[in-house]
Chains A and B, each alone.
Chain A
Amino acid sequence: MTALRLPRRAALAAGAASLFAPSLARAQGEAIRIGVILSATGGLAAFVPPIRAGIVLAFEEMNAAGGVLNGRRLQMVEADDQTNPQAGVTVATRLVQAENVSAIIGPMASGITIAVANAVTVPAGVPIVSPSATAPAVSQINDNDTVFRTAVPDGLQGQVLARLVREAGIERVAIMAINNDYGRGLAGSFTAAFQARGGTVAGAQNYEENRPSYRAELQTLARTGNPQALLLIGYPASGGNTILRNSIENGFFQRYIGTDGMRDQGVIDQIGARALEGMFGTGPGTAAAPERREAYAAAFRRANPQMDPGAAFVAQAYDAAYVIGLAIQAAGSAERAAIRANLRTVANGPGEVVGPGEFARARDLIARGAKVNYEGASGPVEFNATGDAQGRIEHWAVRGGRLTSVAQLSE
């Protein structure tokens, strides 16, 4: 770890002390660099602060417990993909080639995950674990088994949502879906499941992000096929809020249905609780055992009193960091291929079950030659053949101005 090999900024940040004490650093081994690609700016930015806090919490817990591989620290190398696939590919290239990360957490959006995987991480053999890419298409990447996600794919979300909508007595819906892999994928899986249950999609529009007005789209949808509700599949800051505003103001729709992308208390705070009362939808659920969930939630609240451990994809992000840390420990190496080969080993059963905050115990078990099975804050985190976690879908609703969790559903 010489100053010359570090980028200048990193050297400045590391401070003079570490530069003058290289022997100490070497004794404990170099920090293991884990890339973290989040959408800190752009359409998904509002989701990032709690998600990032979840990842930081997981790394801090693991480092406080003594780190991995005989005291080596896990170090986050952060990058912002600007909610933009091109920017995602650029920063991923930097993480993989210049920062030499062992694995990557993220990106958040499905389209960006697919772009980053195809262009950068699959060719380089870097394992990536997205906490929130939910599009079915992510399973179909020809990925050499390097792409994982702790999020539950939208195939399940679409089915659950279709059932909830029918059970709410709604037969005809109009769909506004963001024009990307996530929006098209989820709209497709919802439509198939909804029609199978006897529902009708009165009209569907893929909308372009960041437009100042969506009145024309909404007007077209509202008068096609007499829809009873609007299903909005999008992100709050890149058009979702504007669509709700335009629609409510002009009285285009009376009922609103959302998905994980709009599952944010901020939406209700911005648009007004009265107009959105009764809105419902689906989001990432938790299938975690209550005591594991509570261990995580308590630790998260201690570290971040202002943030909600139940916010969308936060537990999934925490779990992504944990399975990477455990995979390094189980592999006995921070090599990319070794991490990739051990992600399933530590996440899937059978094995000694370890949970959030139990990194030290997991390490001792691994040292004794036992196999561990991580059961996390978001669910049991069992990766299937395509690297997708199996989990639950949350049914949420707006009640009394608060985004309220109604049920955790598995079908």
Chain B
Amino acid sequence: MIEFVTFYLIPGLVLGSIYALAAAGVSLVYGVMRFAHFAHGDLMTWGAYAALVAVGVLGVSPWLAIPVAVLATIPVALAADRAFYAPLRRSAPAVLLISSFGVALMIRALVYLIWGPTPESYARGFTPPLFLGEIRIQQRHLFILGGALAAALAVHLLLSHSRAGRAMRAMADDPDLARVTGVPVAGVIRLTWAVSAGLAAIAGVFLAIDTELTPLLGFNVLLAAFAAAILGGIGRPWGAALGGLILGLAEELSSYPWIGTAPLLDPSYKTAVAFAVLILVLIFRPQGLFKGMG
């Protein structure tokens, strides 16, 4: 039981929280602008490296560097929107998707150019885990779980209790109706990018704290983030967050020895679990757990 919590449940929750933050950002952009934003993973990478600069220059811990990461990532998203997505706003979603793939490659190339391909980390060495009773947990895992919860609450409050959030939801429900009723479309789009890029930066820093910084850091979890967004009902940030948690847990728990002593599923097939869950959901509940948009 202790083993289950320490090595399977907690890692699953941590991974799930990171997926959840990434997926919420993807879902938000999809809701307001109706396209799958492929550069989201590379925005995560960008945020993580921005925090690395802050850690190096200011000498602060990566947790305190998160605001820097957020502030450094938002302009990138806004610039990409201005230069590449805005001119294509009325194009087919596939065109936007492909152009976002181009943006992803540009951001990645920039990361390679500035920081090089060698893996980096925020800190050297190791911190021993905390003991809660008999359960071992890394301090950073507690912070990641808490941070993800706080970010999710902030997004929820923004969407449900602020005028801007209501405008975003109006855009998501019916863009044309929102426009004719006087919703400031340009402003809502900018806000959407800001929130989405901020979530991406936070997810990127969390992921880099738990693993290490590589130029493919965010891209490697992008597919899982999309799967989580679809699982939760695309365009529904809360659904995406829940989808992320479910996927993270499913991946880690699938290799627990539920029956006998051998892992239920060989851990090298973990990645496939996420997509098996996704396919099952698409078959039995095509609109996602929460009713997503088409």
A interface with B by C-beta (< 8 Å) = 40-42, 45-46, 48-49, 179, 205-208, 210-217, 219-220, 236-238, 241-242, 245, 248-250, 266, 269-272, 274-275
Contact = CB atoms under 8 A, between A and B. Distances in A.
Contacts of A40: 112, 117
B126 A220 contact: no
Given A216-B255, A241-B119, 4 more contacts: A45-B117, A211-B271, A217-B255, A250-B136
Contact of B125 (A179, A220, A242, A272): A272
Contact of B271 (A206, A208, A219): A208
Contacts of A241: 119, 212
Contact of A46 (B18, B119, B252, B267): B119
A215 B216 CA distance: 20
B263 to A, nearest CB: 5
B187 interface: no
B207 A236 contact: no
Contacts of A48: 117
Interface stretch (B3-11, B53-61, B95-103): B3-11
B15 A213 contact: yes
Interface string B15-30: 1001000000000000
Nearest to A220: B263
B7 A216 contact: yes
A210 B268 CA distance: 11
Contacts of A248: 126
Contacts of B211: 212-213, 242, 245
B263 A41 contact: no
B270 interface: yes
Contacts of A245: 126, 211-212
A214 B11 CA distance: 9
Contacts of B255: 216-217, 220
Contacts of B108: 41
Contact of B129 (A217, A237, A249): A249
Interface of B: 3, 6-8, 11, 14-15, 18, 108, 112, 116-121, 124-126, 129, 136, 138, 207, 210-212, 214-216, 220-221, 252, 255-257, 263, 266-271
A216 B267 contact: yes
Nearest to B117: A45
B129 A41 contact: no
A206 B268 CA distance: 6
A9 to B, nearest CB: 15
Contacts of B266: 205
List 9 tightest A-B contacts by C-beta distance, closest first.
A45-B117, A217-B267, A216-B255, A210-B220, A272-B125, A219-B7, A46-B118, A237-B119, A215-B11
Nearest to A266: B118
B215 A41 contact: yes
Nearest to B269: A208
A227 to B, nearest CB: 15
Contacts of A216: 7-8, 11, 252, 255-256, 263, 267, 270
B118 A208 contact: no
A176 to B, nearest CB: 10
Given A206-B268, A208-B268, A213 B119 contact: no
A62 to B, nearest CB: 27
A274 B257 CA distance: 33
B124 A270 contact: yes
A212 B207 contact: yes
| Of listed A48, A212, A214, residue having the most chain B CB within 10 A | A212
Given A205-B268, A213-B15, A45 B263 contact: no
Nearest to A207: B268
Contacts of A269: 124
Nearest to A80: B112
Contacts of A42: 216
Contact of A237 (B117, B207, B252, B256): B117
B223 to A, nearest CB: 11
17 contacts: A45-B112, A208-B270, A210-B216, A210-B220, A212-B210, A212-B220, A213-B15, A213-B210, A215-B252, A216-B8, A216-B11, A236-B119, A241-B119, A242-B211, A269-B124, A270-B121, A275-B126
A40 B113 CA distance: 11
Nearest to A272: B125
Contacts of A41: 108, 112, 117, 215-216
A271 B15 CA distance: 21
B221 A219 contact: no
A216 B250 CA distance: 12
| Of listed B108, B117, B125, B216, residue having the most chain A CB within 10 A | B117
A215 B120 contact: no
Contacts of A272: 124-126
Contact of A250 (B7, B210, B256, B257): B7
A238 B216 CA distance: 9
Nearest to A249: B126
Contacts of B212: 241-242, 245, 270
Contacts of B221: 212
Contacts of B18: 212
A266 B263 CA distance: 33
A207 B267 contact: yes
A225 B7 CA distance: 19
A175 to B, nearest CB: 13
